[in-house]
Amino acid sequence: MREPPVAAEWSPLPAALAQSDQLDTRQGLAVLRGNTPKYLALLRQLSAQHADDGRRLRTELAAGQADAGALEAARCAGR
């Protein structure tokens, strides 16, 4: 079995992520013990799973479904 790479072998974060004030990259990487490739894979997965959230929320609110919109917004926020 191959040993996982040590942190020094992992690639750095892309500059746009490293400098983001919208995302706590330090915390995310800390949870993954500095595993940048895993962190990026999880961000891609999150993005793919929630790509339609904004459209769904706008549709529900435009249709007067405020309760459904509130539930969608809470789901997007992870609540």
Question: What is the pLDDT at residue 45?
Answer: 93
Is the CB of residue 57 less than 8 Å from the CB of residue 69? yes
Please count the CA atoms within 13 angstroms of the CA of 79 that sit on its side-chain side.
6
- Distance CA(35)–CA(47), nearest Å, equals 19
Instruction: Spell out the domain ranges in the chain.
Output: 23-76
- Distance CA(26)–CA(47), nearest Å, equals 19
Count helices and strands in the chain by DSSP H and E runs: 5, 0
Is the CB of residue 7 less than 8 Å from the CB of residue 29? no
Question: What is the pLDDT at residue 53?
Answer: 83
Instruction: Determine if the pTM surpasses 0.85.
Output: no
pLDDT, one tens digit for every residue, the chain (79 residues): 555 555 555 678 888 888 888 889 989 999 999 899 999 999 999 888 888 888 888 888 888 877 777 777 777 776 5
